Amino acid sequence: QAVVTQEPSLTVSPGGTVTLTCGSSIGAVTSGHYPYWIQQKPGQAPRTLIYDINIRPSWTPARFSGSLLGGKAALTLSGAQPEDEADYYCFVLYSGGRPVFGGGTKLTVL
Amino acid sequence: EMQLVESGGGLVKPGGSLRLSCAASGFTFANAWVRWVRQAPGKGLEWVGLIKSNVDGATTDYAAPVKDRFTISRDDSKNTLFLQMNNLKTEDTAVYYCATLFRSDPWGQGTLVIVSS
């Protein structure tokens, strides 16, 4: 069973840029894992932010972008806004459609 | 508009059972692989299990902590997903979400299950 790792917490200044990463204990995260990024604000249900590495749904601001970086999936926020303060989870899909979630990153905009 | 609405959560004693439902609308439910994901209070997201579409055999798969205690089923005639939870433990306390985890499909709002004596 793979373990997916994320930074537990990160802080970014308003208007700044930050990159969150999502790595796997059993090897590189690749396009075949269809990495997803989910945003969850306090008291709210999770919402898909990015899927299939870098595809943004209509509701995701363009300041969020996804990529593969050094064997990990990465979520970059450029021009952070106060409303971007949230928990961010990644997950990757393994065989049989099993998702494995990362532990989440608590992003503070300060 | 695609929507998933969970129900059936509540307070149950350890060793007890509970059945959650997830009502789907706005998409072709019968074609969807659907998953249950849970989130314990103050913790991260954890995959519980999935059921494939009937075309793909309606096969189920479960995470190790719930295997042999939880059962996922579906009624495509009613666009509804179920999660039967037996022999509940305190560590099963969580908000339970149903989700397809497919592209930008939305998640449900979740239903809270509390296992406590």
Per-residue pLDDT tens for A3-60? 999 999 999 999 999 999 999 999 999 999 999 999 999 999 999 999 999 999 999 9
Report the alpha-carbon distance of residue B89 to residue B93 in Å, rounded.
8
Under 8 Å between Cβ of A82 and A93: no
Going by C-alpha positions, the residue among B18, B24, B32, B19 that lies closest to residue B5 is B24
A28: tokens are 């590189």
Distance from CA of B86 to the nearest CA of A (A): 22
Residues of A in contact with B106 (CB under 8 A): 47-48
Q: Which residues of B touch chain A, with CB atoms under 8 Å apart?
A: 33, 35, 37, 44-47, 50, 52, 61, 64, 97, 99, 101, 103-110
Tell me the DSSP string of A25-87. TTB---GGG--EEEEE-TTS--EEEEBTTTBPPTTS-TTEEEEEETTEEEEEEES--GGG-EE
Under 8 Å between Cβ of B60 and B71: yes
**Contact between chains at B101 and A46 (C-beta distance less than 8 A):** no
Residues of A in contact with B52 (CB under 8 A): 97
Q: Mean pLDDT of successive 10-residue segments in chain B (117 residues)?
A: 96 98 95 96 96 95 96 97 98 97 92 98
Q: In which band, very low, low, confident or very high, does the pLDDT at A63 lie, cut at 50, 70 and 90?
A: very high
Question: For A97, which of B33, B97, B106 is closest by C-beta distance?
Answer: B33
Distance from CA of A54 to the nearest CA of B (A): 11
User: What torsion, rounded to 10 degrees, do the Cα atoms B3, B68, A5, A21 define?
Assistant: -20
